[in-house]
Amino acid sequence: MATSRLLGYLESSKNLTGSAGGLLGLVLTFTGVAGPYWPVVVAGLYGAGALIAPPERPPLPEFPTPSAQLEAVRSDFERLGGYLAEIDLPPAAAGRLKEWEDLLSALLDPGWAAELLVNDPESVHVLSRAVRQDIPEAVDSFVRTRWWTRLAPGQEAPERHLERQLTLLKEEAEQLATALRDTEARRQETHTRYLEDRGT
C-alpha cells in the first residue's frame, strides 16, 4: 500500500512539476546565482512547483456503453418472456401483451432500429423501464388482485386495469417506434436536400 502510494506520487504532476523546479534550482546553483543557500533554493523551488501543479484528477467511473445497456435490456426481455409464458391471462389482455411483445421484439432485434436506439439513451431507458418494471408490475399486480377478487367478489375486475395498462404501454412503444421512424425520415430528407444543394 505504501509502495503504491509512493509510486503514485513519483508519477504525479506535483512531483514532476516540483522536480522541474528543483532542476531549475540546480541550474541556478551551478551558475552561481544561488550562492551558499543553494539547498534552500532547490528545496524552495521544488516545493513551489509542487504547490502550483494542478491537482490529480481521479479517473472517471466506467459506465456501461449504450450498446451494452441495450444488450442488457434485450437479455432481460428474453427473461421476461419466460416469466410471461407461465402466466394465465384473459384473452383480451393476452392479445394486447402479445402485440407489445412483438413490437418490442422488433425494436430490440439487432438491425437498424437497434442502431438508432444506441444513439438515443432516453429511448433505451423507456424500453428498460417497460421491460424491467412496468410489465412485470402490471402482470404481477393482476395475478395478486385476481386472487383477492375471488375471495371477495364485487370489486372492479382486475382484467380491466391490466388491459388498460397494457394498452398504455403498447402506445408508449408505438410512440417510440414512430420517433425512430421520424429520425430515419429526417435523415433521408436531409440527404435529399444535400444532393439538391450540391447540384445547384
User: Are the C-beta atoms of residues 24 and 45 closer than 8 Å to each other?
Assistant: yes
Residue extents of the structural domains in the chain: 2-52, 66-199
Per-residue pLDDT tens digits for 70-83: 889 999 999 999 99
The whole-angstrom separation of Cα 128 and Cα 70 is: 8
Question: What is the sign of the dihedral through the CA atoms of 138, 77, 121 and 181?
Answer: negative
Per-residue pLDDT tens digits for 128-177: 999 999 999 999 999 888 876 666 666 667 788 999 999 999 999 999 88
The pLDDT of residue 150: 66
Query: What is this structure's pTM?
Result: 0.65
- Whose cell is 456501461? That residue is 64
Per-residue pLDDT tens digits for 17-67: 777 777 777 776 777 766 676 777 777 767 777 777 777 777 778 877 778
Number of neighbouring beta carbons within 10 Å of residue 165 = 20
The whole-angstrom separation of Cα 63 and Cα 120 is: 16
> Which three three-digit cell numbers place residue 170?
403498447
